A and B are shown apart, each in its own frame.
Chain A
Amino acid sequence: MSVTAALGAVLRREFALAGRRVGELGLPLVFFLLVATLFPLGLMPERELLVAIGPGVLWVAALLASLLALDALFRADVDDGSLEQLVMSPYPLPLLVLAKAGAHWMLTGLPLVVISPLVAQAYYLPADAAWALLATLLIATPTLTLLGGVAAALTAGLRRGAALLGLLVLPLALPLLVFGARATELAAAGEPIAGPLYLLGAMLALAVTLTPWAMAAALRISLD
């Protein structure tokens, strides 16, 4: 089997597994919607207030929702031993985990991105800001999945790893939040958002090139 065929097999397996547990798949999305609902109810649902807090709140909600989904990235595979098979396979482990993280993002990150303009409407964000939210989430959630993948790989062997995930991921995810929310705010004020978008793109490029190796090394340690 060539490397591309192996990658295809990993992707197909992830999608097949997800297809058998459709209920689990929607959980991060529902969590995102719930957190987004809590803020207007906890504060006052006034238009100006919601426009002001919208970009930040939606970004934090997306961050927490993807954090919630992260533990599932390697947990089931560690428990049933299939991750060890991946580690022992003759194919480059960084590429295999990159495929796994990619599938994970398509299944948990992409739905958040798609639904975000709708939620932005509920916060009365102008159309420009809704698109900016979509664009920043589209660029930044893969980075988040990859960074979180390193932390998930480090804690994969731990029984209570999920509790540690937040402490490990959130500090590293801060720049994403800062630039993502700032770009959305800029768009709401009618300013150009190219700068923060480029920075988020640069972070994605760095994450795609560097984190697969860190994830692979972390998995080798966890399964050792």
Chain B
Amino acid sequence: MWTWFHKLGSPPHFYRISGRLMPWFAVPALVLLALGTVGGLWWSPPDYQQGDAFRIIYVHVPAAYMAMMVYVTMAVAAAIGIVWRMKLAFASAAACAPIGAAFTFLALATGSIWGRPMWGVWWDWDGRMTSVLVLFFLYLGFMALRSAFEDPVKGDRAAALLAIVGVVNIPIIKFSVDWWNTLHQPATLSRLQAPAMTGDMLAPLLVMIVGYMLLFGAILMVRVRGEVLLREQGARWIRELSPGG
């Protein structure tokens, strides 16, 4: 187990493995996203209250879910990097930030578009929206702090610490709909209760969430490979990669 972990931590080994694994994430991701889109837009019945407008849920909920999951992934990678000084962990955390920021932006934008017909406003200052907005700023802060250092090693460690401190925001987002009973509706999916939607509405949503996760895995691998190449530039194994040298 530990040798496997150490081996994965070595950049050339990771580079080789991830190149082989990437399609196994990307292809199912595309299939599931296509399936979920068709299922969400055509196969699932319209909502009895919201009509067809609810269909944006198939983009909004997975994006919001990923916004938090990517942050936790980033913070865990950052913690591993700080504790074990693992280069690959820092590269992963750095690769996570723009992806997470993109998902967060997507969640905020689709939520805003959904809010306009449902609530009559583009934006409402309730707990859920505000805390997701804070999440977006945390991603921006992470990227800004990392790039502010001239020494990339220092930048990595400083930004990693910031990512760990920012984790306090995650439970606030998660429970904000329970603490403040405002416009935003409670969680769509809950482990403790039976889902509040029918099966033919739920199935495309679950397919979309799994599709988003696989998409994140695929994009993360591409980005970490890029980070590894950038960080190890000049290393011998990279020169051996290109046959022309």
Pick the interface stretch among B16-24, B64-72, B141-149, B226-234.
B141-149
Q: Contact residues of A with B, CB < 8 Å?
A: 150-151, 154-155, 157-158, 160-161, 164, 167-168, 170-172, 174-175, 214, 217-218, 221-222, 224
Q: Which of B148, B154, B172 contacts A221 (CB 8 A)?
A: B154
Q: Which of A154, A171, A174, A175 contacts B145 (CB 8 A)?
A: A154
CB contact under 8 A between A168 and B145, given known A154-B162, A214-B165:
yes
A149 to chain B, nearest CB (A): 11
With both beta carbons as reference points, the residue of chain A lying nearest to B153 in the complex is identified as A224
Chain A residues contacting B149 (CB-CB under 8 Å) are: 157-158
CB contact under 8 A between A171 and B141, given known A154-B161, A218-B161:
yes
Interface of B is mostly: helix
Whether B137 lies near A171 (C-beta < 8 A) is: yes
B78 to chain A, nearest CB (A): 12
Whether B165 lies near A172 (C-beta < 8 A) is: yes
Q: Which of B82, B144, B154, B164 contacts A167 (CB 8 A)?
A: B144
Whether A172 lies near B166 (C-beta < 8 A) is: yes
Chain A residues contacting B140 (CB-CB under 8 Å) are: 167
Asked if B138 is at the interface (CB within 8 A of a chain A CB), the reply is: yes
Among all A-B residue pairs, the 8 with the closest Cβ atoms: A171-B137, A171-B134, A221-B157, A154-B158, A168-B141, A167-B141, A221-B158, A158-B148
Whether B141 lies near A224 (C-beta < 8 A) is: no
B139 to chain A, nearest CB (A): 10
A150 to chain B, nearest CB (A): 6
With both beta carbons as reference points, the residue of chain B lying nearest to A169 in the complex is identified as B141
With both beta carbons as reference points, the residue of chain B lying nearest to A211 in the complex is identified as B165
Q: Which of A157, A158, A168, A170 contacts B162 (CB 8 A)?
A: A168
Chain B residues contacting A172 (CB-CB under 8 Å) are: 134, 165-166, 168-169
With both beta carbons as reference points, the residue of chain B lying nearest to A157 in the complex is identified as B154
Chain A residues contacting B37 (CB-CB under 8 Å) are: none
Chain A residues contacting B44 (CB-CB under 8 Å) are: none
Known: A155-B148, A218-B161. 18 other contacts (CB 8 A): A154-B162, A157-B154, A158-B149, A160-B148, A161-B148, A164-B144, A167-B137, A168-B145, A171-B169, A172-B134, A172-B169, A174-B130, A174-B134, A214-B161, A214-B164, A221-B161, A224-B154, A224-B157
CA distance A217 to B164 in the complex (A): 12
Whether B158 lies near A222 (C-beta < 8 A) is: yes
B:122-143 near A, CB below 8 Å = 130, 134, 137-138, 140-141
